[in-house]
Amino acid sequence: MSGGNPRMAQRGATGGEWAGGGGLAGGAGSAGDSVEALLEQTGAHRRGHFRLTTGLHSDEFFLLAQAFQYPQVLEAIGAALAEALKNVLPAGMPVGAVAGPAVGGILLAHAVARCLPARSLFAEKDPGGGMAFKRGFRLEPGEPVVVVEDAVTTGGSVRKTMEAVTAAGGRVVAVGAVVDRSGGAVDFGVPFAALLARSVAAYPPGDCPLCRQGVPLQDLKRG
Ligand SMILES: [Zn+2]
């Protein structure tokens, strides 16, 4: 990838300020709208005509690392997700830790944990195909844990992280995501909070409206 982010640079050059990020942290306006704007501004939400890694074509995709590369944007999104999680958790419930699957959930877990407040952990792939806590991370028996992920489609990484929490003796009390791409299909068995709900619109290459319109196709590089 070439360096920099032309859109961000352009904003700075034209005197654009982080009104969305500041307003979001202060709870001004609709949190969902503000997060959506942040994702658009940072290139984390892209529209066009894309070949997904599955081979299907789509008119949009999310690459949340693009948003998280800006610390103030990460902070705003973490604060918004922490608030959304507080709304689905029983009032006053303490949270010991926020856990995310590596790599996408590491920074997000940290940003959410800062606002709850709680510790921040991450789970990593283990040789058995699941995920586990390494690096000396420990949970107290029955410790309440929130699991967060940047974008949820099937929920596979979230479930593996939930299993890691249980295996470490903790108790998952809620799940949070920046983007829910499941179309409401995921059920983790605990309260779930997402800042944006955007179903995946994916078409087989032979039956794609964007192909029929002649929109140039872009390949997605694996992150
Ligand atoms: Zn197409």
Residue ranges of the binding site for 5-phospho-alpha-D-ribose 1-diphosphate: 125, 149-157
Question: Does CATH number 3.40.50.2020 belong to domain 24-204?
Answer: yes
Per-residue pLDDT of the chain (223 residues; tens, 9 = 90+): 444 444 444 444 344 454 544 433 333 334 445 899 999 999 999 999 999 888 899 999 899 999 999 999 999 999 999 999 999 999 889 999 999 999 999 999 999 999 999 999 999 999 999 999 999 999 999 999 999 999 998 899 999 999 999 999 999 999 999 999 998 899 999 999 999 999 888 899 999 999 999 999 998 765 4
Query: How close is the Cα of 54 to the center of ligand 1, in Å?
Result: 13
pLDDT of 221 reads: 60
For the segment 43-93, what is each residue's pLDDT rounded down to a tens digit?
999 999 999 888 899 999 899 999 999 999 999 999 999 999 999 999 889
Please state, in angstroms and rounded to a whole number, the distance separating the CA atoms of residues 55 and 74. 30
Query: How close is the Cα of 182 to the center of ligand 1, in Å?
Result: 21
- Report residue 152: phi and psi, to 5°: -110, 125
Residue ranges of the binding site: 61-62, 125, 149-157, 181
pLDDT of 136 reads: 97
pLDDT of 135 reads: 96
Please state, in angstroms and rounded to a whole number, the distance separating the CA atoms of residues 49 and 122. 33
Domain limits of the chain? 24-204
Residue ranges of the binding site for orotate: 61-62, 153, 181
Query: How close is the Cα of 203 to the center of ligand 1, in Å?
Result: 7
The pairs formed by 122-130 with CB atoms below 8 angstroms and a separation of 24 or more are: 123/99, 123/160, 123/161, 123/164, 123/165, 130/160, 130/163, 130/164
pLDDT, averaged across the chain: 87
Query: How close is the Cα of 167 to the center of ligand 1, in Å?
Result: 43
pLDDT of 17 reads: 52
Please state, in angstroms and rounded to a whole number, the distance separating the CA atoms of residues 206 and 7. 33
